Structure 1
Amino acid sequence: MTRKIIHVDMDAFYASVELRENPSLLGKPVVVAWDSGRSVICAASYEARKYGLRSAMSVAKARILCPQAIYVPPNFDLYRSVSRQVRSVFERYTNMIEPLSLDEAYLDVTVNFKNLPSATAVANAIRADILSLTGLTASAGVAPNKFLAKIASDWRKPNGLFVISPAKVQDFLAPLPLQKIPGVGKVTLAKFHQLGMFTVSDLLRFSDSELVFHFGKFGHRLYQLARGVDERPVESNQVAQQISTETTFDEDISFAQIEMPLMTLCTKLWGQLLKKNKFGCTVTLKLKTNSFRIITRSKTFSVPLHSQTHLVQAGLSLLERVDEDIKDNQFRLAGIGVSHFPEEHQAGQQLSLL
């Protein structure tokens, strides 16, 4: 049986909640973030996005792009409460729910509790129920798998619905820019362009083995995605093991040069942690030398890290723990990750590095 998958994505969730709570901010460029140059944006209203502001961007950069932006400190207790309301709506229709963060989730509605005739009807009903219960809008994508549903949910934002039927999959995919594929970043995109690939139809010219040669394991997944194949089920009991980010340098660098990119990675990772509302106790540093030797260093704290500053401090302290003989190498990759996520009721505690 062909699956019927919905990806529901709340529109500018944190910012929309704040606008709901304070209607005087409607129509203004609102940023949810601590008003500090060292903070990162948790969310930006659509008015703020017109100036290029976006989640995980540093507040320092945001101030340059939009000096008139209004900063509202995040209220995660409130966002969690609204997220539970949204979840309660999902549960009216299915128990196959895979949350990705407070504001988005996959739903498998191949069979739905209300016996609605189509996934499109379910998606419309869910969006209407969310609006009625919370006063907030949600966008949704409907498709035969998770890959396509996630792309579709972004197609008509905000407050939109886009459906990719099984018969229309290839027509939809063929002209799709490769940067729309989840997991394709700047480095991968640049490699695509070097190989003369710009749209999904260009991927179809390459065999599975050729894509694996150029992109490693990701190449096999690219081969499948180009054909609209994604067999991943909706995992309703999925638990995050680690949230991490890494970068492969354009050219190998010395150990002394790692500190700055590591701080940038910490900023990016903190944005991901805020997005997912996950705060862990263990920080892991990953380095790869130009001879492909992998070095990791980890540290576990008694309570979760709850600020970007603490994450940076932890990352730099792990850098200091790298052995002296390793420091003589050139390095091709650096990464930072957070794991060991406690229960939500513990996440509000503050971390002491002392």
Structure 2
Amino acid sequence: MDAFYASVEQLDFPELRGKPLAVGGSEERGVISAASYEARKFGIRSAMSGKLAIKKCPELIFVKPRFSRYKEVSNQIRQIFLEYTDLVEPLSLDEAFLDVTVNKKGLKSATLMAEEIRLKIFQTTGLTASAGISINKFLAKIASDYNKPNGQKTIKPDEIIPFLDSLEIKRFFGVGKKTCEKMYHLGIFTGADLRQKSLDFLENHFGNSGIHFYQLARGISNSAVVPNRLPKSIGAERTFRENFTSIIPLKEKLTDVCEEVSTRLQKRNLSGKTITLKIKYSDFTLQTRSFTLTYYISSFDLLLDTSLELLQQSNLRTSVRLIGIQVSNLNINQKKAEYVQLKFRF
């Protein structure tokens, strides 16, 4: 979906249309969850602080997120996907992978199918969507960002290598900021530069990820579309209205976070062994501390006891703006789905 949260707000409130809009955050504190395309022209993006955003665009309008509304629209979109295939793997409320190799409507062209789905989304919700079409998830993801907003791109099998060779390395799905900087230092700026590096070279510099990057440069990705993917962790966090320098108020906030995590775990009938405490300081630096138990837990009392112990060990460096808890190493057995090459006409 195109600027999903912001687009929903502009859809529901016509007076916001055509104006620079930020969902979440605030001028004083907070972090932006989504920005309208009008706001993006000023360099405003998700995960940016509200304070910096208002400097870039003094006319910026802040609105509080309405996740229940976003979920409602997301469910409408999900039902459209399911009209075409049951192999739908959601990435978030506004994005999903679809395997349409075998589809319910018997359509032979994936490109025409994407156009039809996008039109149906617009007719149903009033919102625009973009799509990427190719032989695997990696290429489809890159293609989906290529002609945003309200567009789509197809990467045919014979176009894969030329397309990747010309692509900036920072646009490779899965190449984050730090990895990108490291690649720049190694003289890797495009897909062509990456493809010229040997497997030994990439493994020497990127360890176990070396084979992954070696394959990506050749358009190889063996990740299947897996519906209803099980979570690897359950967590929650709180950003405070004012920074805390004492551990006493943090204990109170931590109690609320643990209660929410415990509720989420029990609602899904899950429990976990590894508890991770996340602390974000006023200068936005992060500190994490983890502990792995010998048994699975989901109860509030046990989770809080372990979390408080981690907090006591953390030795706060400066004022704290956010605290969070994540439970991982869950009691679920994930089976790797068999990879199947997608085959259809483009």
TM-score (norm 1): 0.70
Match of residue 150 from structure 1 = 141
Determine if contact 2:121/2:128 at 8 Å carries over to the other structure.
Answer: yes
Determine if contact 1:34/1:74 at 8 Å carries over to the other structure.
Answer: no
Task: Give, as a single letter, the amino acid of the residue that structure 2 aligns with 1:183.
Answer: G
Relative to 1, partners in 2 of residues 1:62 and 1:112: Cα closer, same or farther, differing over 3 Å? same
Task: Give, as a single letter, the amino acid of the residue that structure 2 aligns with 1:318.
Answer: L
Alignment of 1:31-110 (within 5 A): 31-35=22-26, 37-110=28-101
Determine if contact 2:169/2:175 at 8 Å carries over to the other structure.
Answer: yes
Match of residue 157 from structure 2 = 166
Relative to 1, partners in 2 of residues 1:160 and 1:188: Cα closer, same or farther, differing over 3 Å? same
Match of residue 313 from structure 2 = 321
Determine if contact 1:94/1:109 at 8 Å carries over to the other structure.
Answer: yes
State the shift of 1:341 in Å. 12
Match of residue 285 from structure 2 = none
Moved segments of 4+, more than 3 Å: 279-283, 297-303, 314-320, 339-342
State the shift of 1:117 in Å. 1.7
Determine if contact 1:146/1:230 at 8 Å carries over to the other structure.
Answer: yes
Listed one character per residue, the Cα deviations across residues 48-105 of structure 1 (whole Å, up to 9, x for unaligned) are 0111111111112111111111111111110000000000000110000000000000
Indicate the structure whose relative CO is greater, using CA pairs within 8 Å and at least 6 residues apart.
1
State the shift of 1:116 in Å. 1.3
From 129, 133, 145, the counterpart of 1:138: 129
Distance across 2 between alignment mates of 1:217 and 1:19 = 44
Match of residue 206 from structure 2 = 215
State the shift of 1:285 in Å. 4.1
SS of residue paired to 2:98: strand
Distance across 2 between alignment mates of 1:236 and 1:96 = 6
State the shift of 1:283 in Å. 5.6
Match of residue 282 from structure 2 = none
SS of residue paired to 1:78: helix
From 151, 174, 177, the counterpart of 1:186: 177
From 285, 290, 293, the counterpart of 1:296: 290
State the shift of 1:108 in Å. 0.2
Task: Give, as a single letter, the amino acid of the residue that structure 1 aligns with 2:84.
Answer: Y
SS of residue paired to 1:71: strand
**Could you list the runs of 5+ residues in structure 2 that have no partner in the other structure?**
236-243, 246-262, 266-273, 280-287, 317-323, 331-346
- Percent of aligned positions with the same letter in both sequences? 48
SS of residue paired to 1:84: helix
**Could you list the runs of 5+ residues in structure 1 that have no partner in the other structure?**
1-9, 245-258, 261-278, 288-293, 304-313, 328-335, 343-354
Do structure 1's residue 284 and structure 2's residue 299 form an aligned pair? no
Relative to 1, partners in 2 of residues 1:210 and 1:340: Cα closer, same or farther, differing over 3 Å? closer
